[in-house]
Amino acid sequence: MACNGLCKTREIIMKKIYLNILALLFISGCSENIEVEYDVEFPQKKTYEWRLVTAWPKNYPGLGMAPERIANLVEEMSDGQMKITVYGAGEQVPAFGVFDAVSSGSHQMGHSGGYFWKGKAPAAQFFTGVPFGLTADEINAWTNRGGGLELWREVYAPFNIYPIPAGNTGTQMFGWFNKEINSLDDIKGLKMRIPGIGGEVLKRAGGIPVTLPGGELFTALQTGVIDATEWVGPYNDLTFGFQQAAKYYYYPGWHEPGSMLELLINQDEWNALPKHLKVIIETAAKAVNQDILDEYTARNNKALRELVDVHGVELRKLPDDVIAEFKVIATDILEENAAKDETVSKVYQSYKKFKEEVSAYHKVSEDAFVEARND
């Protein structure tokens, strides 16, 4: 096989290395007065120690473990070059202070849900979930392949934040109640913890939406500060013990059909990272985004059976006319918000178009199959 000059070059290099070694051996062997010192410095990799604040209780199943898993993966894949310390809600900043902490740069990272920031960036709600919107698989597809991620980063850019999808709870439950919901009249005057546009829908239906962090919900429900609460689904709701404070468990979770979680990174800190660490963080978040959805899908089944069979919780479906009215109200709110905010309109049009297209396909694919399977 022809070397094209490479063999000759290698021969010359090897001869030089060989002669240098012989020279060093000769010098060290023939002179007792000469000391040969080797002072070779290898460049050290810069290490990064970041702090990540969350909107969830420390090590809370699902939600709270997502940032922990991201931190572990990043440290392992970077061979210790980047270490991320995770803090639960209230340890360094309040649950609803995560966005500001990352935006200001007091903390490099955060983990939360976008609908908590509707007062700062109304369009952020689309990147968690909106009533009667996209399911988990659908919002992942819109975000990663339908232009949603680019819009998300455009919405957060003025706040100096770089967002990455980082978990999904799947379709949630409507929540816990101490009275039956038989009509819209039963919603009037109801004080319910429900965030985002779901809370706006409840308000227009005559209810009173309340925003509270997860760690305060059980006490608020038990003491009557609120009459009802939504949280996530059976897996997480069981861990908070809501079955001890409320009798009825209502579905479907029309308000949160596939709630995406977010990893927030201070934009300045992100820009300063070497490329390989950016790739590692993005890859870790993508893996955890799917892993958390898998966890909820696997755990909700068993938890629901325990709530019903062991704790005697009464599982109830919302009346069809109540769901239908909620849908009308939700559509009105989305259209109104889009009409008065250019950024909301831009995100809404993309979200709406994707939902229409994916819904049309699912009628003859997933929806049709599930209907055939379950009949």
Dump pLDDT digits (tens) for 77-104.
999 999 999 999 999 999 999 999 999 9
Residues 58, 76, single domain; the answer is yes
Q: Whole domain around residue 130: which residue ranges?
A: 48-171+258-298
Going by the DSSP 8-state scheme, the letter that residue 307 receives in this structure is I
Q: Is the domain of 242 the same as that of 270?
A: no
- Residue 318 belongs to domain with CATH number: 3.40.190.10
Can you give the pLDDT at residue 44? 73
- Distance, in Å, from the CA atom of 262 to the CA atom of 150, rounded to the nearest integer, reads 14
CATH number at residue 117: 3.40.190.170
**One domain, residues 181 and 159:** no
Quick check: 300 pLDDT over 90? yes
Domain check: are 116 and 184 in the same one? no
Mean pLDDT of all residues in 173-192: 97
Does 162 lie in the same domain as 285?
Answer: yes
In DSSP notation, 82-128 reads EEEEEE-TTTSS-GGGHHHHHHHTSSSEEEE-GGGGTTT-GGGGGGT
Instruction: Using CA atoms of 354, 357, 360, 365 in order, give the dihedral in degrees to the nearest 10.
Output: -80
Average pLDDT of the residues of the chain: 91
Are 220 and 247 part of one and the same domain?
yes
Cis, bond preceding 252 (omega within 30 deg of 0):
yes
Q: Picking from 7-21, 154-168, 301-315, which range would have the lowest pLDDT averaged per residue?
A: 7-21
If one counts the domains in the chain, the total is 2
Average of per-residue pLDDT across 332-342: 97
Domain assignment of residue 63, yes or no: yes
- State residue 18's pLDDT score: 42
* 155 and 283 fall within a common domain: yes
Q: How would you label 178-205 residue by residue, b for 16+ Cβ within 10 Å and e otherwise?
A: eeebeeeebbeebbbbbbbbbbbbbbbe
Q: Is 1's pLDDT higher than 50?
A: no
Calculate helix-pair angle for 148-156, 136-145, nearest 10 degrees.
Answer: 80
> Are residues 324 and 283 part of one domain?
no
Q: Are residue 198 and residue 240 in the same domain, yes or no? A: yes
Single pTM value for the model: 0.86
Q: What is the pLDDT of residues 7-36, one digit of tens each?
A: 444 454 444 444 444 444 434 444 444 444
User: pLDDT digit string (tens) for 125-146?
Assistant: 999 999 999 999 999 999 999 9
Paired tokens of 161: 């934040």
